[in-house]
């Protein structure tokens, strides 16, 4: 019998799109030690409600069937809530999936996507995958979007502008007045995505100086789509479900670029169960507790001397600059995993109450400029 040996490796590489091969591989960040705290992914520290666990468990009996392709029951629930038709609601496997779908629907190679930077770390990769080009407009010194500069960055090639409020990772909101002034400058034939993944944590007062609220803008602009998610406030990050509300024609285009059947029946039913009045009241109470905790963390850090911007999200931004890696390491050694973006700063999610004292004690010792002195 002839022995066939494998061909010598020639060193030839499979031909991939070079811009894709150059993307940094996804690294989810280090897991928290067993007795530590994972404050790196803006997850909800509260476990799922029993009523939600129950519907997910019962969905398991039907997993031999495909889900409803458009999650109609969930669309109807959301449509009722926001005063739109079910056709003006699009469900996705997390709002990251929806972002990808809208970018693919509007931007092709040669086209530009404008967004603020630093912002959500998923944006650059999604734009590259679409073959389009990112135009990153630096945040203002106060870590908010520079909407004037973003409007000025729109060219003939611009197809999408992403506005993230509250901005991940800085927690700063775009105000309603700023957003409306911005929309007045954006040509009506360019898609604007308002990414409101943290909307429920804002606790706005509804004034024009206050945070933009996509829900109040529905139907006002032919080119505006609002994106929200069940991952953060509703604690369903592991199930992957988010939604878009906007003009039907835009949602149809985004539906066309989706990988079909991405939203599972378990995810859709868990979202519906989370919108049941009693369940939602409890979930929003938790959101309130997280927002209180956030305000306490923010106030303490500011009193310690950290220049932390006002956070309206479920995380705070610590502009640690060149000390970013060192500070993140110190926190890690104490069992707290954060998201470090060297050399800018560290995003710290608001997690379990038990994490707060540890966090604040360590950061109190690391305030810039205090090492030589004697901080109180
Ligand atoms: C978390 C997050 C999302 C959505 O996450 P999904 O889990 O995919 O719904 C979208 N945008 C921003 C800015 C986020 O931080």
Is residue 264 in contact with ligand 1, taking CB distance under 6 Å? Answer: no
Is residue 100 in contact with ligand 1, taking CB distance under 6 Å? Answer: no
Nearest CA to ligand 1 atom 8: 94
Mean pLDDT on 62-79:
98
Please give the distance of CA 219 from its chain centroid, rounded to a whole number. Answer: 23
Q: Indicate the domain borders of the chain.
A: 18-47+279-365, 63-276
Give the pLDDT of residue 370: 61
What is the DSSP pairing of strand 336-337 with strand 339-341?
unpaired
Above 50 in pLDDT, residue 374? no
Residues 6+ apart with CB under 8 A from 281: none
Per DSSP, helices labelled H in the chain are 18-21, 50-59, 72-82, 95-106, 122-129, 147-152, 176-185, 248-256, 265-274, 277-304, 324-333, 353-365
Least confidently predicted of 89-103, 111-125, 140-154, 208-222: 208-222
Is residue 349 in contact with ligand 1, taking CB distance under 6 Å? Answer: no
User: Residue 31 — very low, low, confident or very high, per pLDDT cuts 50/70/90?
Assistant: confident
Ligand 1 centre from 168 Cα, in Å? 9
User: Residue 11 — very low, low, confident or very high, per pLDDT cuts 50/70/90?
Assistant: confident
Give the pLDDT of residue 348: 98
Give the pLDDT of residue 13: 87
pTM of the model: 0.94
Residue 346: strand pairing partners: 318, 340
Above 70 in pLDDT, residue 197? yes
Above 50 in pLDDT, residue 373? no
Above 90 in pLDDT, residue 258? yes
User: What's the chain's average pLDDT?
Assistant: 94
Atom of ligand 1 nearest to the CA of 96: 8
Residues 6+ apart with CB under 8 A from 348: 39, 297, 315, 316, 317, 318, 331, 336, 338, 339, 359
User: Residue 372 — very low, low, confident or very high, per pLDDT cuts 50/70/90?
Assistant: very low
Give the pLDDT of residue 98: 98
- The rounded distance, in Å, linking the Cα atoms of 210 and 141 is 19
Ligand 1 centre from 304 Cα, in Å? 30
Q: 215 and 253 in contact (C-beta within 8 Å)?
A: no
Give the pLDDT of residue 34: 87
Mean pLDDT on 26-44:
87
Q: 320 and 169 in contact (C-beta within 8 Å)?
A: no
Mean pLDDT on 57-73:
97
Ligand 1 centre from 229 Cα, in Å? 7
Which pLDDT tens digit goes with each residue over 306-348? 999 999 999 999 999 999 999 999 999 999 999 999 999 999 9
Q: What is the CA radius of gyration of the chain?
A: 22
Ligand 1 centre from 371 Cα, in Å? 36
Could you give the count of Cα atoms lying within 13 Å of 306 in the half-sphere of its Cβ?
A: 29
With b for 16 or more beta-carbon neighbours within 10 A and e for fewer, the 284-305 pattern comes to eebbeebbebbbebbebbeebe
Residue carrying the six token digits 């954006």: 186
The CATH number of 63-276 is: 3.40.640.10
Ligand 1 centre from 241 Cα, in Å? 10
**Residue 225 phi, psi dihedral angles, 5° rounding:** -125, 130
Q: In a mutational test of the pocket of ligand 1, which residue from 90, 92, 168 has the highest number of ligand atoms less than 8 Å from its CB? A: 168
Query: Which CATH fold topology does 18-47+279-365 show?
Result: 3.90.1150
Which pLDDT tens digit goes with each residue over 112-166? 999 999 999 999 999 999 999 999 999 999 999 999 999 999 999 999 999 999 9
Nearest CA to ligand 1 atom 1: 197
Atom of ligand 1 nearest to the CA of 167: 13
């Amino acid at each position: 019998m002839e022995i066939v040996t494998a061909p010598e490796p020639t060193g030839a590489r499979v031909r991939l799109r070079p811009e894709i091969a150059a993307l940094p591989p996804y690294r989810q960040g280090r897991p928290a030690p067993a007795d530590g705290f994972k404050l790196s992914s803006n997850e909800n520290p509260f476990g799922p409600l029993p009523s939600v666990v129950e519907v997910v468990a019962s969905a398991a009996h039907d997993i031999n069937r495909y889900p409803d392709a458009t999650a109609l029951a969930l669309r109807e629930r959301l449509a009722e809530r926001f005063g739109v038709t079910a056709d003006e609601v699009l469900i996705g496997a997390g709002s990251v999936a929806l972002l990808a779908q809208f970018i693919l629907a509007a931007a092709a190679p040669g086209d530009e996507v404008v967004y603020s930077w630093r912002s959500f770390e998923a944006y650059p990769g999604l734009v590259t995958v679409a073959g389009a080009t990112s135009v990153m407009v630096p945040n203002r010194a106060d870590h908010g979007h520079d909407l004037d500069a973003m409007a000025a960055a729109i060219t003939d090639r611009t197809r999408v502008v992403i506005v993230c409020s509250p901005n991940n990772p800085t927690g700063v909101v775009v105000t309603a007045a700023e957003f409306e002034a911005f929309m007045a400058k954006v040509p009506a034939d360019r898609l604007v995505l308002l990414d409101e993944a943290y909307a429920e944590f804002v606790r706005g007062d509804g004034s024009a100086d206050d945070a933009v609220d996509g829900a109040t803008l529905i139907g006002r602009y032919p080119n505006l789509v609002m994106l929200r998610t069940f991952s953060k406030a509703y604690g369903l990050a592991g199930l992957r479900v988010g939604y878009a509300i906007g003009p039907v024609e835009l949602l149809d285009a985004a539906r066309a670029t989706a990988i079909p059947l991405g939203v599972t029946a378990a995810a859709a039913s868990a979202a519906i169960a989370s919108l049941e009045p009693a369940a939602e009241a409890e979930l929003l109470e938790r959101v309130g507790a997280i927002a209180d905790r956030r305000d306490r963390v923010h106030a303490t850090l500011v009193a310690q001397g950290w220049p932390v911007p006002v956070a309206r999200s479920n995380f705070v931004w610590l502009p640690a600059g060149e000390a970013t890696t060192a500070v993140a390491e110190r926190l890690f050694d104490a069992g707290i995993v954060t998201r470090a973006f060297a050399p800018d700063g560290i995003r710290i999610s608001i997690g379990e109450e038990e994490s707060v004292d540890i966090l604040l004690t360590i950061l109190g010792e690391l305030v810039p400029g205090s090492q030589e002195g004697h901080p109180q």
